Amino acid sequence: MKTIKTVKSMQKAMQTERRKGHRIGFVPTMGALHEGHSSLVRKARKLSDIVVVSIFVNPAQFGPSEDLANYPRTLRADKKLLRNLDVEYLFTPGNDEMYPDGFQTWIEFEEITRKLEGKFRPGHFRGVATIVAKLFNAITPDIAVFGQKDAQQAVIIKRMVQDLNMPVKISIAPTVREKSGLAISSRNRYFNAEQLDRASCIYRGLRSGRDLIRSGETDVGKIIKAVRKPIEETKGTITEYVSINDALTLEKLDRIDGKVLISLAVRLDGVRLIDNIAAAPGKSKD
């Protein structure tokens, strides 16, 4: 695995790979890698000849009260994991490389970023979209793999690629979960075993909502109440939001009609966790 730190060197390496006829797959990350990231790399491997992973803790997507300084940084362990997955290139730019002096160009969206996570984290998706666009320009991938766990992010990146005619295909990999159903996340490392057990209430709530939709319930209020119940009955939880939206447009719904996304954000003992699950009437397959 070759580690590259500058955009120019990355672009040059990818030009060489393209001349060899190689299809380039890309997985953007902020490090602190876990099995969820490994699943993205494995999917990229199936879809491409060369796999590039980036590790960059992007300051532009953190709000002033968020945990940028404390975000886990485990580069040595991350490199070992990526070598075991036979990744060809690791891109690890510094802040000055991605945001040089005088930087003032940002990607903004309209309605799609003003709901769900965007409502609670103003400016977050401006930072996400801008850094993803910059990484696409550095790596010029044929395909980029993102996780369903960050469902709104996936929808927004697809929108950006379509609206700006970016020549990259976006592939979405399923959420990887613990045996308890808890979505695997870098933030899970903040919990002990007892807290991880309590955090399983999040997936129980999502499944309750999904099962109601599958059984034919169309009243969004009733479904949200069912999602909240096991979470709010669990010690140490604060529910920031539970929302049911159209799976493609993220439009908020009053009644169920077709495939939807149930999304939520919950704080457990102060640690913020997000998760989601897709659902549609009459669909019984997990």
Closest CA to 211 of 265, 152, 279: 279
SS3 per residue for 135-174: HHHHHCCCEEEEEHHHHHHHHHHHHHHHHCCCCCEEEEEC
3-state secondary structure of 227: helix
On average, the pLDDT of the chain sits at 96
Q: What is the pLDDT of residues 92-116, one digit of tens each?
A: 999 999 999 999 999 999 889 999 9
Q: What is the pLDDT of residues 277-286, one digit of tens each?
A: 999 998 665 5
Show which residues are catalytic.
Answer: 37
**Are 260 and 233 in contact, with CB atoms under 8 Å apart?**
no
Domains, the chain, with CATH or none: 2-173 (3.40.50.620), 186-277 (3.30.1300.10)
- Is residue 19 scored above 60 in pLDDT? yes
Quick: pLDDT tens for 173-218. Answer: 999 999 999 999 998 988 999 999 999 999 999 999 999 999 999 9
- Shortest CA distance to 67 belongs to which of 266, 272, 268, 275? 272
Give the model confidence (pLDDT) of 143-181 as tens digits: 999 999 999 999 999 999 999 999 999 999 999 999 999
Q: What is the mean pLDDT of residues 33-42?
A: 97
Cα(46)–Cα(35) distance, integer angstroms: 17
Q: Is the dihedral of CA 200, 206, 209, 212 positive or negative?
A: negative
pTM of the predicted structure, to 2 decimals: 0.94
Confirm if 126 and 152 have CB atoms less than 8 A apart.
no
